[in-house]
Structure 1
Amino acid sequence: MYKVLVLLMSCCAVAGVQAQSRVQFQFQNPVSHKAVPGVTVSENAKTVAVADSSGAASLSLQAGIHSFSFSAVGYEREKLLINITGDTILPVKMDADEKELEEVVVSTTRNNQPIENAPIKVEVLGKEEMGEENTIRPSNIASVLGDISGVQIQQTSAVSGNSNVRIQGLDGRYTQILRDGMPLYDGFSGGFGILTIPPLDLQQIELVKGSASTLYGGGAIGGLVNIISRRPTTEQEGVLTLNQTTLKESDANLYLAKRYKGMGYTFFGGYTHQNPVDVNKDGFSDVPRLDNYNVHPRLFFYPKNTTIIFGYSASANNSKGGDMQVLDGHADTFHQYFEQNNTLRQTGEFVVEHHLNDGKNLYFKNTVSNFTNNYSDAQLNYRGNQLSYYSELSTLIPYGNKNSFVAGVNVTGDQFKASHQNLFIPIAALNNNTVGAFAQNTWNIKEVATLELGLRDDIHQQYGNFFLPRLAFFSKLGEHWATRLGIGWGYKAPNPFTPWYMDYTPDRIAALSDNIMPEKSIGYNAEVNYKKRWENGNRIFINQAFFLTQIADPIYGTVDATNYLHYQNGDKKVVSRGFDTYIKAVIHEWELYAGYTYTVVTRNYLAQNQFMPLTPRNRMAFTLVRDFDEDGWMVGLEGSYTGSQKRLDATNTPDYMFMAAMVRKDIGKHVSLVVNCENLLNYRQSKAESLYTGSITDPQFQPLWASIEGRVINLSVRLHL
């Protein structure tokens, strides 16, 4: 009997062995065709194997259907569903992860350097962030920009909803906005609709904090934001997003793109409708009535070694806010106040990129933009038109061991004409024209350091010559540490339409006198980086940056005893200084982004109250995200802390917390549902103070230092066509 039992057990063991199959995965980068070592193989969320140095991972499996996921540092997570019937070798392609710091290449630096080794620190919100923002705030990029440490989105009107971008505590007029490397958002056209650009139309957003005027001209004293449009790929792309919020906003955005052998196209079309809402029930709209239309088609042609782009974009934005009774069509003797902006921006672009031998490139860019705004309120009407233009010819010449030389010339300017004037804005016409030349050389020093010297010379038709040098240095300090140092000069030509010289109370604009001088700046930055990676894709990156910007001859406005507004230059500098701490980490597939910014800005030209109004000294923000690939779920939590700010009368605002949460569910490969809640804590400025003083007929609105919209929930559907 004992021998029979042993025999039966042996047969079962043999049968069990025979049911096992040997499966080998071979991981490869589809672009370089090199093996990918260290890939983690998971089944049912448990690690079952890790690829060796040759990119191979082997394991024994029972016959049947198995579902695997594969992950590695620097690569996208891949999935595979297979039916095991016997021994087999399975090749698996691992695509590079665009989110990885080393894989990101930025265009703002002009020399196609990887972001990690660039002497100038460039922060990038990539295609994935744009895709997520498309389902959270599909109408604009204001929210995603405000998540970056050191960046503040300052809403300038409680009624119209206009905003500007402030970097390192400086006014919005010191931030330069670019679209595909071309600066057209300034002057009369600068205060309207910049942030209404939908994220679905964008490949990425690149942001530089601190002086960046050498490559792109005056204006980038505080920093610059470069908005990069999407380009077609060989795969047909089609995305339709539908969104509805509890704040009565409805959005529909469509993106289509395809690259063929000799040509390609992209097309974006979007519409946003917003009904006016009085959140705090004070009789005035906290969000205006809004209808916004966007269209942006582009054609791409690919003759030998060349890319030619023809593009056109149009954005029509019609908004009206104010007394809710007026907005409902029931104005009377007491209920009269409103603000209305009807804007139309049309832009044409022509770009040629020619690739020569040995990595050399020649670029030509030309764009013309026509902007019209018809503004009216209960007392006045003003209509103006600004024609802006930009042309550039530049070249990139790599040489030696990863060295490069960039040079170019450009012409930029605008022509403004008022077709209907009033006493509050007595400007009939205005012209600006600047011719500039720039050069930049980048030296790679023994693969551990990079030195970059840039020079620009601008000639402004009215204000003369501006010479703008910049020096930047990057060095690796071993495997984990690196450092950056930089200094740069900048300037800002006076423009009466550049918001705002009057402490966020832009109720009137005056002409500039002949004795007004341009503002000039010098900015310094220093930073230290630390990075570390370990098994299972865990990694951490820490950046500690320090900044100092000094602005000479700052322009500010005052109102005299006769209620006359005039501008003048301060005899002492505006100084912005502080530090910025940024952490990016992936721990057990949870992604964490956290930042803290300490900022002190002083206006030394004033005898007292030298603080910069509405500038928090302390600000923190974080984002925590987890993508559950196997189940098709993604969850995210976002929070920020804004410290106390000084009002115009030197009183302090309360500090406050802002929280948001998001849940996404992917249904198959073509449908995603997203539920997002902004301002979970429902904090509003109106809970701390009234948003206006005076009468209902003639209200005087308070400057804004916090959200006025309250808690907002949105549901969006994203369809991959």
Structure 2
Amino acid sequence: MKKLTLSIAVLSSAMIFSQQKKDTLKINESSIEEITIVASTRTTQKAENSPQKVEVLGKEEMAEESGIKPAGIASILGDISGVQIQQSSAVSGNSNVRIQGLDGRYTQILRDGIPLFDGFSGGLGVLSIPPLDLQQVELIKGSASTLYGGGAIGGLVNIISRKPADKQELTGVVNYSTLDEKNINVFASKKYKWFGYTLFTGYTHQNGQDVDNDGFSDVPQIRSLVVHPKLFFYPSSNVTITLGWNGSFDKNLGGDMQVIEGNSNMIHQYYEQNKLQRNTYELTYQQNLNDHSKIEFKNSLSHFNRNFSSNDNFLTAEQTNYFSELTFVKIMKNMTWVFGTDFQGNKFQPKEAGIFHIPKFENSSFGMFIQNTLKFDKATIETGLRNDFTNHYGSFFLPSIAVIYHLGKLWAVRGGIGLGYKVPNALAPQMTDYPLESLMPIDLKTTRSEKSIGYNLEFNYKKKFDNGNQIFINQAFFLTNIYHPVIGNIGPENKVLFVNENKPVISKGFDTYVKGVFDEWELYLGYTFTIAKYTFLNNDQFIPLTPKHRLAMTIVKDFDGGWKFGIEDSFTGNQYRINHTMTPSYLFMAAMLSKELGKHITLVLNCENIFDYRQSKKEPLYSGTISSPTFNALWSPIDGRVVNLSFKWKL
């Protein structure tokens, strides 16, 4: 299921700013104000009081998702209003996170505040981070470049790893689905006086599936292993030192089902295979000072290796991401200052290739930033300044301001504006996956960096009743302009050339939703309206694969005896295909039933896409021949109805 649970802590925070439709509301007054932003704004504060609009999916949501979709976080992110998880390849299963109608390359993905997923390493495997390994996910819609530098034009997703607690924890999840997907995940942690640890290990075994019987895989064959140990040292009560390694190893095989099954011949020969290795090493040092201020140092080195092979091409290449940051947070009576500097970049190195035109390159930046949060009785103002110096594209001055004002106990208004930029990268995730042999390198002499300005404004109303019922109404507006955007154009011999366009990309729209608790029923009704345009085109300016209308509804209830039941419906309106023709709209429905067996065991039965809506029922997924297919862009589900059963055991 796309995710139905939302703890009352998240809902309460959402009553100021959030736009999620999640599950399990636990009605107890002590949890109402507990959700805090731990990393994304660089200051620890309650989410509902943050001037920066940050949406938080907490530990309860991660725990619930680990039984519904244990292999990754794509489903739970796709439930957030204004966020679209778009599959860019039917063969590889690659997907992108798109925010407010913008391409996935404008979304910055962080792990514990560290950018790791960009360029060559920014696509495959990013969304296959198991939720059992996560404390929470923090998401900012709109420009966040003042906080983290280039790349966060559309927004950012910050994935927060779990930390050890005093009580020993050991949790295991076993899952099986009708698509023949098998998952085994285990998490353990413990905090001692001077030492602590967390350890996650997960394995996914997915056999290739041809759902529409056209001879090609709609779900690739996947073998995936994730290992994530972290050590925590506490030399004093004010100091924490963390050492971590995260290793993910994936092998994906898609294409002709006969090839996948080992029966290739002169006709059945098309395939794509990706062998991925990602090793990330992390060191952090945090010291809390006597006046509640703190100093923090982060350092990370990530090595990503991709071995790609197909029936007519091959490529072995690697990308190294590096990041170092030093921050000082000064807390005063009604004011918080953040001073910081960072150095980050990525280096791409091809090793062996058949047909591939992009040489080795390196993008790096040195940044300095300052942030001030000023609190008044009813308002909080957050201002920021950042200056980045890049190795190829000059410097970028990035100011921002965000304000929240409480109009009494029931109403609040929040608004902000920020500048951003994006360094061109021919290997960044695109709306559709271009063949590697078609990509041409960026011309450093003629190509400029993309620049942006983003605005957001929202009005909120919340009301809590004496009988425990609650209602929340949110009306939010957004606008982002991206100037001289770098767009891939198909040239002679189907080469993909990346050039600056002379008019901006514009995304604008609004979210309207109502959510509440009525007699222990949890209800959500939301609508998102998006107009995203390539204004440099003379005709057909709407950005393809971007629905203008999206509507969603969720109903969830906990019953006596440890039972829980939920239904989710969503409507996706018409979209423009790549060739500017219009797709049909469609309805998606899911249902979930769970049962707690005592204190330690939970069973979850989940069904996605009950009506079995598939793009292949409306049009073929490829053209050409079985030996040389051309796959169409994806605008709806292709894996059909899926039922899964999970078993969770928790010590």
Same fold, judged at TM 0.5 (above): yes
What one-letter code is carried by the residue in structure 2 that aligns with 1:490? Answer: G
Q: Give the secondary-structure state (helix, strand or coil) at the position aligned to 1:704.
A: coil
Aligned 8 A contact 2:116 2:321 in 1:
yes
Q: Does 1:262 align with 2:181?
A: no
Q: Give the secondary-structure state (helix, strand or coil) at the position aligned to 2:429.
A: coil
Q: Report deviation, 1:106.
A: 3.9
User: 1:659 maps to which residue?
Assistant: 589
What one-letter code is carried by the residue in structure 2 that aligns with 1:399? Answer: M
How far, CA to CA, are the matches of 2:619 and 2:472 in structure 1? 40
Match of 2:203 among 251, 255, 271: 271
Within 5 A, what are the aligned runs for 1:86-97?
96-97=30-31
User: 2:263 maps to which residue?
Assistant: 330
Q: Report deviation, 1:504.
A: 5.1
Q: Report deviation, 1:524.
A: 0.5
Aligned 8 A contact 2:552 2:570 in 1:
yes
Aligned 8 A contact 2:399 2:419 in 1:
yes
Aligned 8 A contact 1:106 1:114 in 2:
no
Q: Report deviation, 1:102.
A: 6.0
User: 2:451 maps to which residue?
Assistant: 520
Q: Does 1:532 align with 2:466?
A: no
Structure 1, residues 570-600: CA drift from partner, whole Å, max 9, x if none? 0000000000123331222222233211000
Within 5 A, what are the aligned runs for 1:358-369?
358-369=291-302
User: 1:23 maps to which residue?
Assistant: none
User: 1:234 maps to which residue?
Assistant: 166
How far, CA to CA, are the matches of 2:159 and 2:641 in structure 1? 28
Within 5 A, what are the aligned runs for 1:121-132?
121-132=53-64
Q: Report deviation, 1:173.
A: 0.3
The higher-RCO structure (CA 8 Å, 6+ apart) is 2
How far, CA to CA, are the matches of 2:583 and 2:166 in structure 1? 53
Judged with a 3 Å threshold, the aligned counterparts in structure 2 of structure 1 residues 449 and 95 are, in CA distance, closer, same or farther, namely closer
Judged with a 3 Å threshold, the aligned counterparts in structure 2 of structure 1 residues 381 and 562 are, in CA distance, closer, same or farther, namely closer
User: 2:14 maps to which residue?
Assistant: none
Unpaired runs of at least 5, structure 1: 1-73, 78-93
Q: Report deviation, 1:386.
A: 0.7
Q: Does 1:120 align with 2:52?
A: yes
Q: Report deviation, 1:624.
A: 2.2
Structure 1, residues 527-567: CA drift from partner, whole Å, max 9, x if none? 00111001232112222110000000111122234444322
Normalising by structure 2, we get a TM-score of 0.94
User: 1:164 maps to which residue?
Assistant: 96
Q: Give the secondary-structure state (helix, strand or coil) at the position aligned to 2:67.
A: helix
Aligned 8 A contact 1:503 1:648 in 2:
no
Q: Report deviation, 1:621.
A: 2.1
Q: What is the alpha-carbon root mean square deviation over aligned residues?
A: 1.5
Within 5 A, what are the aligned runs for 1:128-147?
128-147=60-79
Q: Give the secondary-structure state (helix, strand or coil) at the position aligned to 1:96.
A: helix
How far, CA to CA, are the matches of 2:539 and 2:227 in structure 1? 49
What one-letter code is carried by the residue in structure 1 that aligns with 2:504? Answer: K
Structure 1, residues 591-635: CA drift from partner, whole Å, max 9, x if none? 22332110001101112221100000001223322223x411111
Q: Report deviation, 1:421.
A: 2.1
Judged with a 3 Å threshold, the aligned counterparts in structure 2 of structure 1 residues 695 and 75 are, in CA distance, closer, same or farther, namely closer
User: 1:291 maps to which residue?
Assistant: 223
User: 2:341 maps to which residue?
Assistant: 409
Judged with a 3 Å threshold, the aligned counterparts in structure 2 of structure 1 residues 75 and 247 are, in CA distance, closer, same or farther, namely closer
User: 2:388 maps to which residue?
Assistant: 458
How far, CA to CA, are the matches of 1:675 and 1:720 in structure 2? 18
How far, CA to CA, are the matches of 2:388 and 2:70 in structure 1? 38
What one-letter code is carried by the residue in structure 2 that aligns with 1:295? Answer: V
Q: Give the secondary-structure state (helix, strand or coil) at the position aligned to 2:64.
A: helix
Unpaired runs of at least 5, structure 2: 1-23
User: 1:594 maps to which residue?
Assistant: 525
Judged with a 3 Å threshold, the aligned counterparts in structure 2 of structure 1 residues 549 and 101 are, in CA distance, closer, same or farther, namely farther
What one-letter code is carried by the residue in structure 1 that aligns with 2:415? Answer: L
Judged with a 3 Å threshold, the aligned counterparts in structure 2 of structure 1 residues 246 and 503 are, in CA distance, closer, same or farther, namely closer
How far, CA to CA, are the matches of 2:26 and 2:68 in structure 1? 23
Specify the structure having the higher radius of gyration (Cα).
1
How far, CA to CA, are the matches of 1:718 and 1:380 in structure 2? 42
Structure 1, residues 465-519: CA drift from partner, whole Å, max 9, x if none? 000000111100011000011100000001110022x765455311111211100
What one-letter code is carried by the residue in structure 2 that aligns with 1:594? Answer: L
Q: Report deviation, 1:433.
A: 1.1
What one-letter code is carried by the residue in structure 2 that aligns with 1:370? Answer: H
Match of 1:374 among 303, 307, 314: 307
Q: Report deviation, 1:301.
A: 1.1
What one-letter code is carried by the residue in structure 1 that aligns with 2:533? Answer: T
Q: Give the secondary-structure state (helix, strand or coil) at the position aligned to 1:358.
A: coil
How far, CA to CA, are the matches of 1:639 and 1:242 in structure 2? 27
How far, CA to CA, are the matches of 1:592 and 1:208 in structure 2? 24
Q: Does 1:224 align with 2:156?
A: yes
How far, CA to CA, are the matches of 2:433 and 2:353 in structure 1? 22
How far, CA to CA, are the matches of 1:531 and 1:279 in structure 2? 44
Q: Give the secondary-structure state (helix, strand or coil) at the position aligned to 1:188.
A: helix
Aligned 8 A contact 1:352 1:365 in 2:
yes
How far, CA to CA, are the matches of 1:587 and 1:309 in structure 2? 44
Q: Report deviation, 1:75.
A: 11
Match of 2:401 among 471, 478, 491: 471
Q: Does 1:585 align with 2:519?
A: no
Q: Give the secondary-structure state (helix, strand or coil) at the position aligned to 2:467.
A: helix
Q: Does 1:570 align with 2:501?
A: yes
User: 1:62 maps to which residue?
Assistant: none
What one-letter code is carried by the residue in structure 1 that aligns with 2:257? Answer: M
What one-letter code is carried by the residue in structure 2 that aligns with 1:567? Answer: F
Q: Does 1:428 align with 2:359?
A: yes
Q: Does 1:693 align with 2:627?
A: no
User: 2:423 maps to which residue?
Assistant: 493
Number of corresponding residues: 625
What one-letter code is carried by the residue in structure 1 that aligns with 2:513? Answer: Y
Q: Report deviation, 1:638.
A: 1.6
